[in-house]
Amino acid sequence: MKKYFFLPLLVCSALLLGACAGGDSEDSDDGANAGGDTGVYQTTLKSKTLDASEGAAYLNLNSGEQVSADETWHLKIDRFNIELGSGVVAALGDAQDDYYNGEDADAVVFQQADADQELESLWAVMPSSDMAYVADSYQPAILGNGGWYDYANGSVTVNDDTYWIVSSSSGESYAQLRVSALEAKSRDDISATFEFKAQAAGESAFSTELSSIFTTGTVAAAEAGGRVCFDFDSGAELACDNADWDIGLEGFDIVLNGGAGGSGSAAAFGPIAAMDIADYSSASAAPARAFARDSIGGLISEQSWYAYAVTGEPNDHGLYPNYRVYVIDTDSSAEADTKFKLQVVNYYSESGASGHVTVRWAELDDAGQ
């Protein structure tokens, strides 16, 4: 392992749970479909079910309408992922800690949860100066600090004993990959060596031949949208405007041609410790559903609105809402902008189809309602 010193880096029926909030119905602005007795505040509550099962859906919280990607939107919902729009920030209004025992979901609490009762949690959230608003940021599938490198006290240590399995932009070939060296002469001059074994399309195992690519990128170029890319099928650097690039270096991020990183199908599984890498002689040894693509995320992805398969039953692959309350600031650059408190209350249509996400929200004001 090598160290370099420089300035700090900027671096299911049971699933429905009675939480349909109007199911797959049209949106509501009177609170009737969201459940609960909202009293005089009933007209301030809005709810919307968006079909995000086969592509992203966009929501404008001010109008309560689903909009297109080129219109003003505050939330982008793509199946279970929620992304904030430009200038939008979020804070956690109610973490719903009662749904968890430490980091583990409490199966009984989740299964007994009721959307009508949990409406009280939404109403209870009031404005507070303690709320920490966070904007979304780029989330690489191959973790940087704490993943392929460690950064502490002005020092970068290359984790050359940490591996990932990466699928190509076509999704048909793979690489067993690690970063074997990183040199950072300054924040504006960095280089890395990627070392990998390829599994070509149609092959059932990784090659025994070890390949390496030395690539150089600059933080300054990356901040301006610069990126250095390569293709592990050919083992060569490739222009990033070529659709066949698989993996790239953008500042201190390793980026994939998939998800938020590009239009391809590249994804990564890992990290894998060096002592375990021999168990992955083929890409098929890695669970297909455990591969992740680069994404955009922040508070809502880190403080997720759901728990997965809480019953522990073999056939339970459901998403269960925890009714966390998020406070959404629709324009962080304006002091007088409207803020909303919001819950995700369902992931299923009335027929049980997944990816039909129901959210409900109300304007945040000094009355708490």
| Residue 199 pLDDT > 60 | yes
Q: Given this model, what pLDDT does residue 215 score?
A: 66
Task: Give CA–CA dist 56/78, Å, rounded.
Answer: 4
**Bridge partners of 321?**
306
| Residue 369 pLDDT > 60 | no
Give residue 366's pLDDT band: very low, low, confident or very high (50, 70, 90): low
Q: What is the DSSP letter of 8?
A: P
Quickly tell me which residue has 């010193």 as its tokens: 5
Give residue 225's pLDDT band: very low, low, confident or very high (50, 70, 90): low
Mean pLDDT taken over the chain: 84
User: What's this model's pTM, rounded to 2 decimal places?
Assistant: 0.69
| Residue 227 pLDDT > 70 | yes
Is it true that the peptide bond before 271 is cis, omega within 30 degrees of 0? yes
Instruction: Point out the least confidently predicted range of 160-174, 237-251, 263-277, 291-305.
Output: 237-251
Token pair belonging to 239: 């222009």
Torsion, Cα 28 33 38 40, to 10 degrees, reads: 40
Task: Give CA–CA dist 194/182, Å, rounded.
Answer: 9
Please say whether the beta carbons of 245 and 262 come within 8 A: yes
Give residue 334's pLDDT band: very low, low, confident or very high (50, 70, 90): confident
Task: Give CA–CA dist 292/269, Å, rounded.
Answer: 6
Give residue 83's pLDDT band: very low, low, confident or very high (50, 70, 90): very high
Task: Give CA–CA dist 85/74, Å, rounded.
Answer: 5
pLDDT digits (tens, 9 = 90+) for 97-140: 999 999 899 999 999 999 999 999 999 999 888 899 999 998 99
Q: Is 55 exposed, middle or buried (0-12, 13-18, 19+ CB in 10 A)?
A: exposed
Token pair belonging to 290: 């455990």
Give residue 187's pLDDT band: very low, low, confident or very high (50, 70, 90): low
Q: Given this model, what pLDDT does residue 29 score?
A: 60
Quickly tell me which residue has 């990816």 as its tokens: 355
pLDDT digits (tens, 9 = 90+) for 12-64: 433 343 333 333 344 666 443 443 444 444 448 999 999 999 889 999 999 99
| Residue 235 pLDDT > 60 | yes
